[in-house]
Each structure stands twice: as structure tokens, then as C-alpha cells.
């Protein structure tokens, strides 16, 4: 694993773990809604707008190699007690660059990763997203 993962703390007061509620890409761009793992009615709306060039959502059962690598390199606490990450030297970004005739390197995407107990979401975006609290009750 040549990727370098770092815990990303985009703002103060975030819960450690979240679950996916909704992923939408529409006329306002890419929006992800999460609920706190321990308080299901407390939500977080993450808006990438049009800065996201690519994203993927993978069921956690299909991410076994990733979890094994993260555990081996960083330890279980690194990924099991946090949700938001930035990935440097990203394999996903390299894949997109190969498939875009190297246009994505020119654009300069950052790889944001969201790991939950159910899914791994990878987002390649030119800007960090905005975060807002949402009442999900």
C-alpha cells in the first residue's frame, strides 16, 4: 500500500463515527447525508457541490484488503474510531488520471474518504466540502 492515509478533522464537534443516510448527485452537485452512529437523529450534510469530479461507494464487505492494510499500517483504532480521511498518493486518483487521459492530474483533485461500518466512500474533489448539521428525527 503506497497510499498515505490521514485522519481529516474538517471542523470541531464532529462525532467519531457516522452511518450513511443518503448520497445524491443532482442539480446542486454531490451531497452526502450521514447520521451519528450513537445518535441516529443527529445528522451531518456534506456538500461537495460541483467540485467532485468522481466518487464511488463500496460495500464494506468488498473492502477487506483496504481494512487489512489500514490495520497493518495504522492500527485498528485509526480507522475504527474515525470517519473522515484524506488519502495522499491515492490509487483511486491514479485510476481516474489513467482513464481521463491525465486530465484529472491537471485539475488537481484531493481524495477525501468516508469510512463507515457499512460503506467506504471515495470522493475526488477540487475543494473541501461544506458541512452543516441536520435534524433527522
Number of structural domains, the chain?
1
* Alpha-carbon torsion (15, 118, 87, 31), positive or negative: negative
Q: Is the pLDDT of residue 103 over 80?
A: no
Mean of the pLDDT values across residues 113-127? 96
Q: How far apart are CA 68 and CA 75, in angstroms?
A: 9
Q: What is the pLDDT of residues 1-16, one digit of tens each?
A: 589 999 999 999 999 9
Structural domain that includes position 76: 4-135
Strands (E), 1-137: 4-7, 18-26, 29-36, 42-49, 52-59, 84-88, 110-115, 119-125, 130-135
| Cell reading at 91 | 490509487
| Cell reading at 97 | 488520471
Amino acid at each position: 500500500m503506497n497510499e498515505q492515509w490521514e485522519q481529516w478533522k474538517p471542523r470541531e464537534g464532529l462525532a467519531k463515527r457516522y452511518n450513511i443516510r443518503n448520497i445524491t448527485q443532482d442539480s446542486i452537485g454531490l451531497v452526502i447525508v450521514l447520521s451519528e452512529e450513537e445518535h441516529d437523529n443527529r445528522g451531518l450534510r456534506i456538500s461537495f457541490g460541483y467540485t467532485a469530479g468522481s466518487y464511488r461507494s463500496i460495500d464494506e464487505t468488498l473492502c477487506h484488503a483496504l481494512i487489512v492494510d489500514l490495520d497493518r499500517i495504522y492500527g485498528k483504532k485509526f480507522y475504527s474510531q474515525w470517519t473522515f480521511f484524506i488519502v495522499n498518493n491515492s490509487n483511486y486518483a491514479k485510476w481516474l488520471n489513467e482513464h481521463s487521459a491525465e486530465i484529472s492530474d491537471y485539475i488537481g483533485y484531493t481524495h477525501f474518504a468516508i469510512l463507515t461500518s457499512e460503506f467506504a466512500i471515495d470522493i475526488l474533489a477540487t475543494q473541501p466540502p461544506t458541512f452543516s448539521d441536520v435534524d433527522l428525527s
